[in-house]
Amino acid sequence: MHCVGETYVRAIHKVGGTPIILPPVMVEEDWPAILTCIDGLLLSGGEDIDPVYYGQEPEAWLGGVDEERDNAEQGLVALAVEYEVPILGICRGHQVLNVALGGTLYQDIAAHIPNALEHAYIPGHPMNHHSHSVTIDPEAALATILGGTVFNVNSAHHQTVKELGSGLKAVAYASDGVIEALEMPDHSFCLSVQWHPEAMVPTATEMWPLFKAFVDAARELSVPF
């Protein structure tokens, strides 16, 4: 099956967008055609990214990878950045954005970051369970969109951003130093978060503005293909 979590679809639809699911089988000749059919690119959560894309050897704690999806998303991101297509990255998508622009990852937080918080999914907890807080740079677009600088968020990841990709700026952190949000200041709308705001939308309103801002930016798009 080629599928995406229902919460992503409903979050986009809730704020007036029309969700389209892209199967992760696209190769380079497909990418321009895809970008003529969409007004924004949401990069969803999922498996680990193959470390070959950021110049590392696999480590013992690396989870499952999907070479076909990795290749498709890396190419789509690069082209979307070039043509100013609005981009919103979530969890794996946050990491995909960074890697596609030349950044690197820690393959496992617990193995590389001393005294780290528990960022991985906790079995038995719902996905909207608040795991820790994040602090956002007050000058960041994300702070303006969400209307604040400190939020309690959920968490379901074991990897995280290490070195930043080209043009990206870290704009939010957890208390242990894990980078929780990225922005590209020179892009019309390009940001990513490490938590799962789509899973928070059904029960709380604080993350709705993030999806609304993304959909609003998509309405302004004109791709020259």
For the question of residue 190 being annotated catalytic, the response is no
- Residue 57's alpha-carbon distances to 52, 95, 105, 121, in angstroms, are 7, 17, 12, 25
Query: Which is nearest to 96 in space by CA: 44, 58, 61, 52?
Result: 44
Q: Which of 91, 158, 183, 190 is catalytic?
A: 91
Q: Which residues of 129-168 are buried (b: 16+ CB within 10 A; e: fewer)?
A: bebbebbbbeebbbbebbeeeebebbbbbbbbbbebbeeb
For the question of residue 125 being annotated catalytic, the response is no
Q: Which of 84, 180, 183, 198 is catalytic?
A: 198
Q: How far apart are CA 225 and CA 223, in angstroms?
A: 6
For the question of residue 157 being annotated catalytic, the response is no
In 115-161, at which residue ranges do the beta strands (DSSP E only) sit? 132-136, 150-153, 160-161
Query: Which is nearest to 15 in space by CA: 193, 218, 156, 222?
Result: 218
Q: Which residues are catalytic?
A: 91, 196, 198
